[in-house]
Amino acid sequence: MRSRVGRAMTAAVLGGLLATGCGSGNDEKASAAAGKGDFADPVTVTDCTGAETTFAATPKRIVTSNASSLELLLRLGAGDKVVGTGFPPGRGTLPDELDAQARQVKVLSETVIPKEKLLGSGADLYIDTFASMNMGGGMGDAPTEAEFKAAGIQHIFLKSTACAARSKSPVTDLSAVEDDITSLGAVTGTSARAAELVAGMKKKVDAVHKAVGGTPERKRPTYFFFDYDAGTKQPMAVCNRQVANAVITLAGARNVFADCDGDYKQVGWEDVIAKNPDWIQLSVRDRGSEAANDKAYDEAREWLATNSATKGLKAVEKGRFLRIGSERTTIAGVANADTVEQIAKTLYPGKVG
């Protein structure tokens, strides 16, 4: 008997995504059992290579690699299971109802959690947002799967981010993000809440599509995601396998580096100049407060406006900037749909409600 997650993802499999499995069993019975912390049937999820991880009951002690997976668990109502995180969210950067909960989670590292600390955390589940599937070749000195097993830690991924570079075709929708939410809901016994979150995302994206989706490709404004924190000497482009490409596309814009296969790629300013984008997103990573973020946005804009290589860009001369954080654009989460809406409202004023 296969997992309920597999059943929920069947459409994604047919579309060429990386989830596997098909379903059977009684949905009502499974949902009720999951709410009690156990499953009517084991829940199985896969990684980028198709390797399976099976859960017979909901995990009780979860560690998250960064604020993205932590926020998803908080939104799912599973925050009480989280015992530690890396890359914690800045104070006040999550919605009020989630911020206080996030403050209660132990910070195991401000960046990548050290291997020894992760293995000794007492976790029974580690949710990995960034790491390469080549364990030991990912971010930092990552534990091997054998080491995770020896420590009693099951290891799963936010596939929409961790597996992005492996996608066989450009990412132009949020189905992989929605699948991640569905998977986490199944694993943590919060499937009903996961369904609500996914429905909310779909409602926002569908409204944008209804308003601007019919705009011919040639009339869609071109768009450059300027990752200010990645460095200004050589810009980092988001390519067509990154979730940001889906966010930009769904908002009715054209990612100027959509012809780049992969998730990220270093490019030259001469490449950006050749693209001459209509709009530029000033993307900065969360500084921990609105004031600090505003300062960073101002610095990013000032750099573009004063640098000899960029001050003549169409978007710079016309002041066409969007101040949207990197995380809500490039990392899987409910906020991806909010960003689609925010971009569309700016690029198509009066068309998106």
92-121: pLDDT as tens digits:
778 878 989 999 999 999 999 999 999 999
Non-local (6+) Cβ contacts of 335 within 8 A are 327, 328
Place of tokens 């000794």: 120
Do residues 67 and 115 share a domain? yes
Q: What is the pLDDT of residues 243-253, one digit of tens each?
A: 999 999 999 99
CA–CA distance, 113 with 106 (Å, rounded to integer): 12
Instruction: Out of 171, 199, 227, pick the residue that ends a domain.
Output: 199
pLDDT in tens, 284-312: 988 878 899 999 999 999 999 999 999 99
Q: How many angstroms separate the CA atoms of 241 and 205, rounded?
A: 19
- Which pTM value belongs to this model? 0.84
Tell me whether residue 194 is in a domain: yes
194 and 283 belong to one structural domain: no
Identify the burial level of 146 via C-beta atoms within 10 angstroms of its C-beta, where 0-12 means exposed, 13-18 middle and 19 or more buried: exposed
User: What does the block give as tokens for 343?
Assistant: 């971009």
| Structure-token pair, residue 97 | 């109802």
Alpha carbons within 13 A on the beta-carbon side of 95: 8
C-alpha–C-alpha distance, residues 83 and 48, integer Å: 26
* pLDDT tens column, 33-77: 444 455 768 999 998 888 999 999 999 999 999 988 999 999 999
Whether residues 178 and 65 fall in one domain? yes
Rounded Cα distance, 65 and 112, in Å:
7
Question: What does the alpha-carbon distance between residue 3 and residue 9 come to, in Å, rounded to a whole number?
Answer: 10
Average pLDDT over residues 167-193: 95
Statement to judge: residues 25 and 163 lie in one domain? yes
Residue 140 has a pLDDT of: 56
- What band does 158 get if pLDDT is binned at 50, 70 and 90? very high
Specify whether 22 is located in the same domain as 83: yes
Q: Is 353 a domain residue?
A: no
Q: Are residues 287 and 219 both part of a single domain?
A: yes
Q: Are residues 253 and 193 in the same domain?
A: no
Domain-located, residue 204: no
In a domain, 208, yes or no: no
Which structural domain, as residue segments, surrounds residue 80?
A: 4-199
Cα of 17 vs its chain's centroid, Å: 16
The beta-strand segments (E) located in 110-149 are 125-128
Identify the pLDDT of residue 22: 30
CATH number at residue 337: 3.40.50.1980
Residues 164 and 312 in one domain: no
Whether residue 207 is contained in a domain is answered as no
